[in-house]
Amino acid sequence: MIAEEDVKKTFAELVAIDSPSLGEREMADHIKKLFGELGIELIEDNSSQITGSTAGNLYGYVRGNGKAPILLSAHMDTVMPAFGKKAIFHSDGSITSDGTTVLGADDLSGITAIYEAVRYLKLHHIAHRDVELLFTTGEELYCKGAKAFDYTKIKAKSALVLDLSGRIGNAAYAAPTILSFEVSVQGKAAHAGFCPEDGIHAIKAVCEAIASLPQGHIDEGTTANIGMISGGDGINIVPEKCIVKGEIRSLSHEKAMEVAEKYRAMFLKSAACYGAQAEWIQQIDIKAYEIDPASKIIDEYKRALSQLDIVPNLSKTFGGSDNNVFAQNGIEGIVIATSMNNVHSCKEWANVSEIVQITKILICMTTYK
C-alpha cells in the first residue's frame, strides 16, 4: 500500500519551492536531500555552464538485481507564474493552487511518483531491476537541460518519462519535430501622407505572404502557426521593417523541413515583389521520434497496467518532452500521463489517488521480471 499522506507531504513540499525554468537551484537541492535520505546519491552535472540555469541536471543509479536497467525521468522546472505556489488539497482528492499561480504538477507529480516508488522499494527491501534517475532543468525551454546532458552515463536502453496530461494509462510513443522561425523583411520608410510611393511597405509584403500560406493543420501530422508580427514606427510612416515569428510541428521531421522551405520561399518571393529584402532564420527546437508500438518498453508498460487493472491508451502527441532528446541518444522511451491537467495555466490540477496510481505503475515496472 502507498500511503496517500506520504504522497501529499512530498508533493506539497515540492510545490512550495519556486522552480522557474533556469532557476531550479532550490528544487535540485531539495530533491538531492530527499534521495540522500534513502541512501541514494544524485550527482549534479555541469550543464548549467551551457544552459545558464542555477542548477545542473541530477543523475542517480539505484542498484538492483543488475537486470535490464530502466530510466525514470522528470523535469524540475515549472512555467510561470510560479512564485509563491502552494498546494491546496480538496475533499474529493483533487489538488489545485490558490488560482494566482500554476500548481506545478507539470512536472512535480512526476518527481513525487518517482521518489515515492523508490522510497517504497527501499523501505520494504523489495527486489528490483537497476533503476537510473534523471531530473532535468529547463525542459519547458525546449529541453535545455536534457540537451546538455552527457548520455554516455546512461546504461538503460528504455525509459519512462513522466510528463503527459490526461487520464492515468495514457502514454505517447511519438512526438513531433518543433521548428521555430523568424522572418525579418526590410523595406523603405517614407512619409505616408506626402510621398507614400517612395516607400516600400514591409508589412504589406509580409501580409501577402501570410495570406497565401496555410495555417493550422497542414495534414493530420503537421501544423503551422504564425504567432507574432511586429513592425512600423508610426501611423504616418510607411513601415520599413516587419518581423514575423512562428512555428511548425510535424510528426515527420522531413515534412517539417518541407513546410519550412515552402514558408521561406514564399516570404522571400513576396518581399522581392515589393523590392524589399527578407532574412529567414529557423531553428529545430526538438526532433521528431516514433517508437514501435510492439517495443519492449510498451509491452512492459502494458503488463504493469494489467496488474493494476488500468486500461492503456497509446497515442501520438503534438507536445515535445525530454523524451525527444532521449530518442536522439539511443534510448527507447514513452511519455506517460502523470496527473497533470490544465497545465500551463493557473487552473492546473492534480489528484492524490492518481499520483498513487503512477507510483504503483513505477513499482510494477521496476520489479518487472
Q: Report pLDDT digits (tens) over 89-123.
A: 999 999 999 999 999 999 999 999 999 999 999 99
Q: Domain-by-domain residue ranges, the chain?
A: 4-175+288-366, 177-286
Q: What is the pLDDT of residue 66?
A: 87
User: Which residue has cell 530510466?
Assistant: 71
Identify whether 139 is a catalytic site residue. Answer: yes
Hey, what CATH class is 177-286 in?
A: alpha beta
Q: What is the pLDDT of residue 140?
A: 98
**Backbone phi, then psi, for 249, in 5-degree steps?**
-125, 140
Is the dihedral angle over the CA atoms 365, 366, 367, 369 positive or is it negative?
Answer: positive
Q: How far is CA 302 from the centre of its chain?
A: 23
Q: Which amino acid is at 110?
A: G
For every residue of the chain, which 3-state class applies, written as one string? Answer: CCCHHHHHHHHHHHHCCCCECCCCHHHHHHHHHHHHCCCCCCEECCCHHHHCCCCCCEEEEECCCCCCCEEEEEECCECCCCCCCCCEECCCCEEECCCCCCCCHHHHHHHHHHHHHHHHHHHCCCCCCCEEEEEECCCCCCCHHHHCCCHHHCCCCEEEEEEECCCECEEEEEECEEEEEEEEEECECCECCCCHHHCECHHHHHHHHHHHCCCEEEECCEEEEEEEEEECCCCCECCCEEEEEEEEEECCHHHHHHHHHHHHHHHHHHHHHCCCEEEEEEEEEECCEECCCCCHHHHHHHHHHHHCCCCCEEEECCCCCHHHHHHHCCCEEEEEECCCECCCCCCCEEEHHHHHHHHHHHHHHHCCC
What pTM, to 2 d.p., does this model score?
A: 0.95
Q: What is the pLDDT of residue 369?
A: 61
The one catalytic residue among 77, 130, 332, 348: 77
Could you give the CA distance from residue 172 to residue 251 in angstroms, rounded to a whole number?
A: 12
Nearest alpha carbon to residue 312 among 167, 129, 113, 163: 167
Crossing angle of helices 352-366/4-15, nearest 10°?
100
Q: Has residue 21 got a pLDDT over 90?
A: yes
Q: What is the pLDDT of residues 151-198, one digit of tens each?
A: 999 999 999 999 999 999 999 999 999 999 999 999 999 999 999 999
Residues in Cβ contact with 270 at an 8 Å cutoff, skipping those fewer than 6 apart = 205, 206, 208, 209, 212, 278
Q: Has residue 216 got a pLDDT over 80?
A: yes
The reply to whether 177-286 shares the fold of 4-175+288-366 is: no
Q: What is the pLDDT of residue 67?
A: 82
Could you give the CA distance from residue 323 to residue 147 in angstroms, rounded to a whole number?
A: 10
Could you give the CA distance from residue 235 to residue 50 in angstroms, rounded to a whole number?
A: 43
Identify whether 130 is a catalytic site residue. Answer: no
Intra-chain end-to-end CA distance of the chain, in Å: 20
Show the cell assigned to 11: 508533493
Asked whether the bond before 81 is cis by omega within 30 degrees of 0, the reply is: yes
- What is the mean predicted confidence (pLDDT) over 66-83? 95
Q: What is the mean pLDDT of the chain?
A: 97
Residue pair 279/184 in contact by the 8 Å Cβ criterion: yes
For the domain 4-175+288-366, what is the CATH code? Answer: 3.40.630.10
The one catalytic residue among 139, 163, 247, 348: 139
